[in-house]
Structure 1
Amino acid sequence: ESTTSTKTMSLQDLDEYSLVHVFLFLSVADLDRCLLVCKKFQQIIQRFVYSKKCILALVVNSPKTCSLSLYRYTARKRAKLEENWRDGRYEEHTLFQHNVMYISQMDIDKDFLYMTHGGCLQAHKRTKSRYLVDTRVHWQVGRKRDPDISSLAKENDRFFAGRLDGKIMMYDSTTGHTTLQSVAADVIKSVDFCENVYAVTTKFHATYILTRRWQEHDLENAELTHSHVYTRAYETIKLNGTRLAAGMFHCGKKQALQMIDLQSCAVMQLNSQTKAVYDLIWKDENCLLTGNFDDSMRLVDVRTGNDEACWSDPYNASVYCMFYNGAYAVHCGMKYHHRSNLYDLRVPNRCVQMYFPSK
């Protein structure tokens, strides 16, 4: 008669490689408890697990996100922030009252939050306090009583804004120099610029490509001169080198997305199946992210012109605006209930989290 002896195996008997995979499934709170078990767990978690969690993270893993942060977070803190984003734990503070018709146009960098109020552009210093933004105005361009700023683009310290009266405003925060120039007798819907090439589209009339030029006798003050005029007006436009992506406000044929080659002046129809495009972002040199009327966010490959992926809103709300963090996270502002959705480009067909205001 033979006897079989079995040896029980504990978690501590696993090798380092296996333990890392096990620990990746745990929350930060559970990992904090495991740190207290033994030195082996402590070394593995602190050396490998937190850093791997950050690499796989949705929100906190991109260079763009890190460059916007006022803090130098540890790997553990970044992993904790990732959980907060995914689980929807957040505080809400009302900092600015905005009582004009058009919504504020906003941008952000590591030091300032930039936002429009009526016809003025204001800069507010970012802080490490609880409210994160100083409500006092650091600098201001324009006046609130001026025609509303309807579109804003930023590149380094240069700002480019379009207004309801058909004028554009250029501002350099380094020199403090402001230029106001009339483009069309129409509402400006969207603007963008890349180096010295500027694009402007109006509500009804046309889309204008302008070039920044300096006079020989005046090297400080530059003016924009017309390079080309396209007879179609768009809802939103985005420049990427010599290519201009453009989305229409309405297209009954569901062909609302186009791309313009600024060198050949050719207009290419993309095959994204949508009636209207409210916002778009260049994800990289070959792909666009679009926010659409039909409750969808789409990934479009401009080489084929086709939709490569599509994410829908469960409550059938249109996507009004988007922010892309440079890696996998896309934060979308939705049409109804002042709600925003967080999408993971690695997770098809659904949003990762929704954020609802308390009021």
Structure 2
Amino acid sequence: MHKKSAAPTFYSVPAKRQASSSSSSYGDVLTLQKWTLDRNLHLMELPEDVLYLLFRYLDLTSLGRLCQVCRKLRRLIQTDSVWLPFSRHQLVIREPQQGNLTKCRTCLPSLKEQCRMARNWTKGINREITIVRHHSRQLPWMQYDQIHPKTMWVSTGEYINCYKVLANGLFQEDKRRKLGPLHRDVTRFVVKDSLVVSGCREGSLFGWHSDTGKTLFCYVNVHTEDTQCVDFHHNLMVSGSRDATLKILSMDEQYNSNQPRATLRAEDRVWSVAMAPDGSTFASGSAGCNGSYPLIIWDLCKGVMDCSLGQDHRRGAGILDLKYEAPDILLSCGYDSYLRLWDLRTEKCEMMWEEPFDSAVYCVKTDGDCAMLTGTARHGMTRLWDKRATKPVQLYYAGHRSSPVYSLAFDCSHLYLALDISISMLDFSIYR
């Protein structure tokens, strides 16, 4: 009598896994086991859909080892569907949204590669490189171009420099699109819709076309003191200053640049402004020293205060940076060492995260999903946060000196930090 051979060990499924599997998957495994009773099969003889089923029962270490067996298994394991379950349970750094555009799918790393780099982010595995060095101390600001994701803009003194971001993350200066000089040092600028709009330390506002570098406007003496912050939506621009005023201006040529559409009294020095994505409102953050609310939402069309946020701000707990994630979702950070998420529909702080070292938070950036990065006032210190957790995920130091992180930018593999005398890059794509 013919004796049936036993099934190879790699087809067996642990009892716990079988109990947690869906009925369809469990039935597929039983059918596979019954089929293999009649013959001895090599692993590579199985159909690809059966191999994908088996991959579901492996952990990250086993998948990594299986990749080294042969080219076929390596090709199959590189598929995003294999890594999708793992990406849901760990903090994968997504490519930040570039305005209404994102990078094309073919330009992004595979999901397997993103999971590998996510492990480097959470464990702090990186390599630091100084890519730009300043001759003197600066208060730099940096931002990705929203139309050309591989283009970075960085302010240095009276100029705004344009850099092409290479495949290895390093910068290559594009001298044809160097903007300036301004009348005084650049404060903050914003890049979107093929425009670069910047504030100046003597109270002026400047605008350029980001592709050609052509000057579009120069609004002189808009404020009596430093123009600390600026933002715009379509043809309307909002600027804030140390003179405790907010100015709403039009960027249309037919309007006189010396006559703002509206002047709003903030009752304190204005450190930050942000326009809502739909252009209906904008937020302003002030120093919070005169007993007024440091965070205010304004109606852009009417030019009046819509609401004030927060009742528990300490004196001097000014707002240094603001970021809209949606028309009704706002992130704020500042001197009180807190990062807050506000729901403008309820006018309440829905979540808050505290900097453990009680350091001022200078800037915040988000990937639009779960990852957030904040730059602090000391030692080039940057923190990675997960919205689903209350404590920080990881801490990074850069610059090897006590410098604030004035601004930052990132993608899924690199983190760029603007420090007082340099621009540092942390490379998380390394193998270790």
TM-score range, shorter chain: 0.7 to 0.9
CA contact (8 A) 2:80 2:110 kept: no
Partner residue, 1:4: none
CA contact (8 A) 1:291 1:322 kept: yes
Partner residue, 1:119: 158
The yes-or-no answer on 1:128 pairing with 2:164 is: no
Matched residue of 1:235: which SS?
strand
Matched AA of 1:340: T
Tell me by how many angstroms 1:173 deviates: 2.4
Partner residue, 1:214: 253
The yes-or-no answer on 1:154 pairing with 2:191 is: yes
Partner residue, 1:48: 81
Matched AA of 1:152: F
Aligned sequence identity (%): 21
Pair 190,358 (structure 1): closer, same or farther in 2 beyond 3 Å:
closer
CA RMSD of aligned residues (A): 3.2
In 2, Cα distance between equivalents of 1:321 and 1:307: 18
In 2, Cα distance between equivalents of 1:245 and 1:70: 36
2:97 to 64, 82, 92: 64
| Structural mapping, 1:1-359, within 5 Å | 12-14=11-13, 23=58, 26-27=59-60, 29-35=61-67, 46=79, 48-54=81-87, 58-62=91-95, 64=97, 67=103, 71-100=107-136, 102-109=138-145, 110-129=149-168, 132-135=170-173, 137-143=175-181, 146-178=183-215, 179-182=217-220, 183-215=222-254, 223=257, 225-232=259-266, 233-240=269-276, 241-251=279-289, 255-267=293-305, 268-271=307-310, 273-274=312-313, 275-347=317-389, 349-357=390-398, 359=400
In structure 1, runs of 5+ residues without a counterpart are 1-8, 216-220
Tell me by how many angstroms 1:278 deviates: 1.0
Choose between structure 1 and 2 for higher RCO, CA contacts under 8 A separated by at least 6 residues.
Answer: 2
In 1, Cα distance between equivalents of 2:242 and 2:104: 33
In 1, Cα distance between equivalents of 2:202 and 2:387: 38
More displaced, 54-63 or 253-262? 54-63
Tell me by how many angstroms 1:98 deviates: 2.2
CA contact (8 A) 1:259 1:269 kept: yes
Structure number with greater Rg is 2
Number of residue-to-residue matches in the alignment? 342
In 2, Cα distance between equivalents of 1:326 and 1:210: 29
CA contact (8 A) 2:361 2:375 kept: yes
Matched AA of 2:304: A
Matched AA of 1:322: V
In 2, Cα distance between equivalents of 1:273 and 1:175: 47
For normalisation by structure 2, the TM-score amounts to 0.71
Pair 243,47 (structure 1): closer, same or farther in 2 beyond 3 Å:
closer
In 1, Cα distance between equivalents of 2:175 and 2:214: 18
For normalisation by structure 1, the TM-score amounts to 0.84
In 2, Cα distance between equivalents of 1:231 and 1:252: 13
In 1, Cα distance between equivalents of 2:281 and 2:380: 33
In 1, Cα distance between equivalents of 2:381 and 2:106: 26
CA contact (8 A) 2:176 2:213 kept: no
Pair 286,118 (structure 1): closer, same or farther in 2 beyond 3 Å:
same
More displaced, 223-232 or 233-242? 223-232
1:287-336 deviation digits (Å, cap 9, x = unpaired): 11111212110111112221111111111111101111111111110111
1:38-65 deviation digits (Å, cap 9, x = unpaired): 9999957846331333455534335628
In 1, Cα distance between equivalents of 2:225 and 2:128: 37
Tell me by how many angstroms 1:189 deviates: 0.9
1:245-276 deviation digits (Å, cap 9, x = unpaired): 11111246583211111223331111263332
